[in-house]
Structure 1
Amino acid sequence: MFVSVIIPTYKGAHFLPQVLKSLKAQSFKDFEVIIIVKPSGDETEGIARKICKQFDLQHRILIQTEGHFTRALNMGIKGSKGDILLFTDDDVILPKNWVKSHIYNHIRFMKSGAISGQYINIAPTSGLVSSFKKESLSSKVSRGLRWRLPLLMIDKPHPLFKKYRLGIYITQSFRVAKGFYIPHKLCFSLPCRGVNMSFKRDAIKNIFFPEHPLLKIAPYNEQYLGARIVLEGWESIYDPQIVVYHRVRQGLSASTNNIERRIMSKLFEALLKEYQL
């Protein structure tokens, strides 16, 4: 089984060496690294080539000259050769069994076209910070009563995604929502975060991330791709045991705006209506 690890990068010169070092240390070795560089003047391309050669990583460097974030992801899909495609970011640290864990789950869940895991943030000054706030049992129950239960009653899971209500799912109003099993329990779930997800090649034939001139960040692009995979008859699994460590970057915001959210909501609506029984 051959694997492709896809990494989009922008202003990543400072971060790439660490993620490439952690790829060099992977227990599973039969993979290629696809790095999609959007030029920023910080010598990212040269550093990527140098480090990949230094670590003897099988690699391809693709240069993105137009489009936004999801264009880079789609370039990675088209430019890869793996039976399984893993996606991560340029500012992560990967445990040595990261690739192996994704492969294991794709074998374990043969009907699953998508596998995703959790991430833990590493703050620049204070070290590890959970990607989801730690809470007492009472506060979790209180939060659930305040937010998730009303959401489930008012904006229920879309009929095509009832099976996914404990994980990440699409609601009847075409929103992305999070169920009770995220982040701590194994469950059916659309991909949680793009920093830690993978797909069977067979599951994404002719399926790509959404592109639009106004979608710079494309919020929920992971869930959109996952939804398309599920609607094609595959399953999607979240496994909290697959972890990556995400370094918090200062000066590079991943914030989005209501325009992008509305565009994505319309894309979800069109997608689900296409498959509606």
Structure 2
Amino acid sequence: MSTVNNPYVSIGLPVYNGEQYLRETLDSILAQTFTDFELIISDNASTDNTEGICREYADRDKRISYYRNLKNIGAAGNYNRTFELSSGRYFKWAAHDDLIAPEFLERCVAVLDSEPSVVVCYTREVCIDEKGQPLRKRGNLLNLRSSKPRERFKEYHDLWYKRGFTHANQCFALIKSSALAKTPLIGSYVWSELALGAELLLLGEFYEIPEYLFFFRYHENTSRSTKKSRGYQQLAIWFDPKNRKKIILPQWKLFFQYLLAIKRVQMGWQDKAQCYVQMGRWLSWKWKSLIKELIQGVV
């Protein structure tokens, strides 16, 4: 096992004004049965008591490192900063309001240690409300175990666009740092987590542990509810404040980022060709909404 200066796992916790749920989240992380980890907190210039809570916990546990941005750099930049500061063999992002069961890291580390072909490991998800009460369970979603990148890519898109499936659990998975370092990380645009997921699955397999050990908290300030209640413009600003007053074309941006991911990843020509064919299918599924988005734009 590693030392505190060379941890086996790094957990990156980006936060902005998270005082309402932060203590509960930190307690769930510190209660892990797998203890060889560092916790990197990046505070995005919070104006509430987030800083005080973080410093209190950092003083209490030497595995915690607290950093504070001088200004709000957007969610994407803040998420990426936690990875840039990390040193672990495996990496996990943790939202300030979500929870993980004590066995989460232990189960995921065991899979990544024993399965060389797997780059992303996570568990099934329970959606909870503001008070932590369960709303619904979600499982059997992105268990992408084919040895062929093209087949994983096709299954991923079938889930997203043919079945109306929306899920970003891979962003809160345990990820091999060596694989994540090959990607552009989380981009400063809407749905960049989907592009990141696609690039990671081209690099290796996704493994879903059939236990409900991850608890996504749904409330009015989450990114999922922001899009639903306030639209793509506000969600784009959440990703990066520089997006304010910009024309937002989320589907077109995502399409071209998928193409760039296929280009970047080193794989056989058959895999690349089939992935590009899959993007042609993507256009056939989405062409009406793509044309509408291009004509109207989202401002």
TM-score by length of 2: 0.67
Q: How do 1:38-53 residues align onto structure 2 when only pairs under 5 Å count?
A: 38-53=44-59
Unaligned regions of 5+ residues in structure 2, if any? 2-7, 140-147, 233-247, 266-271, 274-299
Comparing both structures, which one devotes a greater share of its residues to strand? 1
1:8 aligns to what?
14
Cα-to-partner distance string for 1:66-87 (whole Å, 9 max, x where unaligned): 5322212211111001111012
Match of 2:76 in 1: 70
State the one-letter code of the partner of 2:66: I
How big is the shift at 1:103? Answer: 0.2
In the alignment, is residue 208 of structure 1 matched against residue 184 of structure 2?
Answer: yes
Equivalent position to 2:217, from 224, 247, 254: 247
Read off the aligned partner of 1:247 and give its amino acid letter: R
Following TM superposition, the consecutive aligned residue runs of length 4 or more in structure 1 with deviations greater than 6 angstroms are: none
More helix by share: 2
| Separation (CA, whole Å) in 1 of partners of 2:171 and 2:73 | 20
Cα separation, 2, equivalents of 1:205 and 1:220: 16
Q: Tell me the residue number matched to 1:152.
A: none
Provide the rounded CA distance (Å) in 1 between the counterparts of 2:119 and 2:199.
10
1:1-277 alignment to 2 at 5 Å? 1=1, 2-54=8-60, 56-64=61-69, 65-124=71-130, 127-132=133-138, 160-163=149-152, 165=154, 169-170=156-157, 176-177=160-161, 192-194=168-170, 196-212=172-188, 215=189, 218-221=190-193, 223-232=194-203, 234-241=204-211, 243-252=213-222, 253-255=225-227, 257=232, 259-273=249-263, 276-277=272-273
- How far apart, CA to CA, are the structure 2 residues paired with 1:5 and 1:21? 13
Q: TM-score, normalised by structure 1?
A: 0.72
Deviations 1:46-90 (A, max 9, x none): 211112323x25112233435322212211111001111012211
User: What amino acid sits opposite 1:60 in the alignment?
Assistant: S
* SS of alignment partner, residue 10 of structure 2: strand
Q: Quote the Cα distance in structure 1 between the aligned partners of 2:124 and 2:162.
A: 13
Q: Quick one: which amino acid aligns to residue 176 of structure 2?
A: K
Q: Deviations over 1:153-205 (max 9, x none)?
A: xxxxxx95323555xx136xxx944779x99xxxxxxx842563111122223
Residues 251 and 75 of structure 1, relative CA distance in 2, 3 Å threshold: closer
Q: Secondary structure at the match of 1:23?
A: helix
- Which amino acid is 1:254 matched to? T
- Sequence identity (%): 19
Q: Which runs of 5+ in 1 are unaligned?
A: 134-158, 184-190
Counterpart-to-counterpart distance in 2, 1:266 and 1:67: 24
The 3 A distance-change label for structure 1 pair 126 and 59 is closer
C-alpha RMSD of matched pairs (Å): 3.1
| Paired residue secondary structure (1:254) | helix
Say whether the 8 Å CA contact 1:196–1:243 is kept in structure 2. no
SS at match of 1:26: coil
- Larger relative CO (CA 8 A, sep 6+): 1 or 2? 1
The alignment covers a number of residue pairs equal to 232
User: Is the Cα contact below 8 Å between 1:24 and 1:57 reproduced in 2?
Assistant: no
For structure 1, which segment, 45-54 or 100-109, has the greater mean C-alpha deviation from structure 2 after superposition? 45-54
Cα pair 1:85 1:200 within 8 Å, conserved = yes
